[in-house]
């Protein structure tokens, strides 16, 4: 089988030029042409499955030799089902509405100029990520669907897998209208090149880091390219004094234990003092049944023999594991102050039957997603109905919360005149 090859000799500047020149072609393609390319990419992944799995095996062998943590090896592992999942993901993205085919407004100004705010692709998007090969396919598909070229810089642990995946995707593009140069993969694993990538303003319109807290912090500290910060999630659940405790228990257990390793999982439980006598036993027992370790404040530790004392660090912690901080709060205001102080601005929830406190909570909590009587686990592009997600933004510029295709677009003003000059 012939494969489009990944050119490992290209400099970053050359990649930038190739990506930018492809972006000019891409932004003029029809929705049908982009969708056709996504379908062909899906077929290529399916057809080249054996090749991809062979290359993935090389990464897995290296990772075992290097004694990487089991969780990392698990994330790195591809199999037939996961590759099929990637292909299905491509077809799902093909089925989504084209975000550049949407009106953002048109009006005629006082001088008779017809002004349109036209939705356009961002241009060239940089993605910097860790060892999940599925990001390689997902991010590429979302960028292309929105009419953008993409330059990918994945973790060195996944380099063979990523090269194989990109080779397959590029071979799929060969029969399509999307230029193969729309996709660029950085194969040089050095930190020097990563640092250069973060300052590659000449070649990138924006940079999106996807991964853990330290990757994101490094990008924030070093990038000069405009960055969309994606999410660390220190998420809170506050059980108000007027609350349905069965609902509280169900939302707590779902938020903490359904998938503890993700950013929208709960990390801290706040219980109103006035209902602590009733609520704490019910909630702590449910947590214990699921094997969740409780880091409690003084009151909690006095009442629960299995709880360990919570330190300041626990309230800041994103455990991403079967652990939770539990604190008894004096009242609504104390709960809000705690969340204000410690929340990462991702997702926070209240359980209450009080109309006033529900409305106040929605106003008072300055996070990307604020919930009344529902699990924080819903903060997700797919759950929100966006069909896909490039990440969850915890910053306030450009995009906030789950970012779908729209977050990968910008706009420009198109002004139609008949000779108007400024008076």
**How many CA atoms lie less than 13 Å away from 419 in the CB half-sphere?**
0
Compute the C-alpha angle 385/388/393, nearest 5°: 90
**Among positive and negative, which fits the CA dihedral 42, 46, 50, 53?**
positive
User: Is residue 330 involved in binding a copy of itself (CB under 8 A)?
Assistant: no
**Applying CB under 8 A, which of residues 45, 93, 228, 271 lies at the interface with a copy of itself?**
228
Here the tokens at position 43 are: 């077929």
Please state the separation of Cα 180 from the chain's center in Å: 25
Structure tokens at 374: 């529902």
Mask: binding to a copy of itself, 40-79, rule CB under 8 A, as x and -?
----------------------------------------
When asked if residue 195 is in the footprint of a copy of itself (CB under 8 A), the reply is: no
Residue labelled with tokens 């950085």: 186
Nearer to a copy of itself, 38 or 392 (CB): 392
Alpha-helix residue ranges (DSSP H) falling in 127-268: 133-145, 159-173, 191-198, 213-222, 245-257
Q: Pick between residue 62 and residue 400 the one whose CB is nearest to a copy of itself.
A: 400
User: Using the rule CB under 8 A, is 383 a contact of a copy of itself?
Assistant: yes
CB nearer to a copy of itself: give 80 or 109.
109
Among 86, 370, 390, 405, binds a copy of itself (CB under 8 A): 370
| Among the listed residues 316, 321, 373, 387, the single contact to a copy of itself using CB under 8 A | 373
| 107-129 burial: b if 16+ Cβ within 10 Å, else e | eeeeeeeebbebbbbbbbbbbbb
Q: Is 250 in the site for a copy of itself (CB under 8 A)?
A: yes
CA distance 268 to 207: 31
Among the listed residues 33, 111, 285, 333, the single contact to a copy of itself using CB under 8 A = 111
* Contacting residue, 158, 239, 251, 390, with a copy of itself by CB under 8 A: 251
By CB under 8 A, the count of residues binding a copy of itself is 71
Residue 398 interacting with a copy of itself (CB under 8 A): yes
Q: Binding string to a copy of itself for residues 127 to 166, with x set by CB under 8 A, is what?
A: ----------------------------------------
Min dist CB 226 to a copy of itself, Å, is 5
* Nearest approach, Cβ of residue 326 and a copy of itself (Å): 19
What CA–CA distance (Å, rounded) separates 121 from 106? 18
Q: Tell me if 413 contacts a copy of itself by CB under 8 A.
A: yes
Q: Answer yes or no whether residue 102 interacts with a copy of itself by CB under 8 A.
A: no
**Residues pairing with 271 in the sheet:** 239, 328
What are the residues whose beta carbons fall under 8 Å from the beta carbon of 328, sequence distance 6 or more? Answer: 270, 271, 272, 273, 276, 280, 297, 299, 300
H-run or E-run covering 11:
none
Residue 285 C-beta: closest distance to a copy of itself, Å: 18
- Cα angle, residue 60 at apex, residues 230 and 91 outer, rounded to 5°: 55
Q: Is 243 in the site for a copy of itself (CB under 8 A)?
A: no
User: Does 193 sit near a copy of itself (CB under 8 A)?
Assistant: no
The reply on whether position 418 binds a copy of itself by CB under 8 A is: yes
Q: Does the protein bind a copy of itself through residue 245 (CB under 8 A)?
A: no
CA distance 346 to 389: 15
Instruction: Give the burial string for 186-210 (b: 16+ CB within 10 Å, else e).
Output: bbbeeeebbeebbebeebbbbbbbb
Q: Are 268 and 324 in contact (CB under 8 A)?
A: yes
372 touching a copy of itself, by CB under 8 A = yes
Q: Is 123 among the residues that bind a copy of itself (CB under 8 A)?
A: yes
Give the shortest CB-110-to-a copy of itself separation in angstroms: 7
Angle at 338 between CA 259 and CA 263, to 5 degrees: 20
Binders of a copy of itself in range 18-37 (CB under 8 A) = 24, 27-28
Q: Which stretch binds a copy of itself (CB under 8 A): 165-173, 179-187, 296-304, 359-367?
A: 359-367
Q: Are 115 and 106 in contact (CB under 8 A)?
A: yes
For a copy of itself, the closer CB: 302 or 416? 416
Q: Which of 17, 113, 245, 275 binds a copy of itself (CB under 8 A)?
A: 113
Please choose, from the candidates 275, 375, 287, 359, the residue with its C-alpha nearest in 3D space to the C-alpha of residue 326. Answer: 287
- Residue 258 as a binder of a copy of itself (CB under 8 A): the answer is yes
- Contact status, residue 53 vs residue 78, Cβ threshold 8 Å: yes
* 197-226 positions binding a copy of itself, by CB under 8 A: 201, 205-206, 220-221, 224, 226
Q: Which range touches a copy of itself (CB under 8 A), out of 115-123, 182-190, 278-286, 314-322?
A: 115-123
């Amino acid at each position: 089988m012939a494969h489009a090859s990944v050119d490992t000799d290209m400099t970053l500047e050359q990649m930038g030029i190739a990506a930018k020149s492809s972006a000019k072609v891409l932004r003029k393609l029809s929705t049908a042409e982009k969708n056709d390319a996504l379908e062909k990419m899906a077929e290529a992944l399916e057809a080249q499955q054996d090749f991809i799995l062979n290359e993935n095996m090389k990464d897995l062998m290296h990772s075992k030799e290097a004694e990487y943590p089991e969780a990392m090896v698990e994330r790195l592992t591809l199999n037939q089902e996961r590759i099929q999942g990637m292909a299905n993901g491509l077809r799902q993205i093909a089925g989504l509405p084209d975000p550049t085919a949407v009106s953002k407004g048109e009006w005629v100004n006082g001088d008779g100029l017809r002004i349109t705010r036209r939705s356009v692709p961002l241009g060239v998007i940089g993605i910097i990520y860790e060892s999940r090969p599925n990001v390689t396919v997902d991010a590429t598909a979302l960028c292309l669907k929105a009419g953008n070229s993409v330059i990918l810089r994945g973790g060195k642990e996944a380099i063979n897998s990523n090269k194989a995946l990109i080779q397959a995707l590029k071979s799929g593009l060969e029969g399509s209208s999307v230029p193969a140069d729309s996709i660029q993969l950085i194969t040089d694993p050095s930190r020097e090149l990563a640092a250069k990538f973060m300052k590659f303003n000449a070649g990138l319109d924006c940079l999106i880091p996807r991964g853990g807290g330290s990757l994101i912090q490094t990008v924030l500290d070093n990038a000069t390219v405009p960055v969309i910060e994606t999410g660390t999630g220190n998420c809170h659940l506050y059980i108000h004094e007027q609350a349905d405790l069965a609902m509280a228990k169900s939302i707590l257990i779902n938020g903490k234990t359904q998938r503890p390793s993700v950013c929208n999982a709960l990390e801290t439980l706040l219980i109103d003092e006035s209902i602590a006598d009733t609520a704490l036993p019910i909630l702590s027992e449910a947590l214990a049944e699921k094997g969740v370790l409780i880091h409690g404040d003084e009151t909690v530790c006095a009442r629960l023999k299995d709880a360990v004392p919570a330190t300041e660090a626990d309230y800041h912690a994103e455990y991403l594991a079967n652990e939770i901080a539990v604190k008894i709060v004096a009242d609504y205001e104390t709960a809000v102050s705690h969340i204000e102080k410690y929340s990462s601005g991702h997702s926070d929830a209240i359980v209450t039957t009080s109309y006033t406190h529900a409305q106040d909570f929605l106003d008072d909590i300055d996070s990307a997603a604020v919930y009344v009587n529902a699990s924080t686990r819903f903060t997700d592009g797919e759950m929100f109905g966006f069909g896909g997600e490039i990440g969850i933004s915890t910053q306030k510029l450009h995009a906030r919360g789950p970012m779908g295709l729209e977050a990968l677009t910008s706009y420009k003003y198109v002004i139609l005149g008949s000779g108007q000059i400024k008076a």
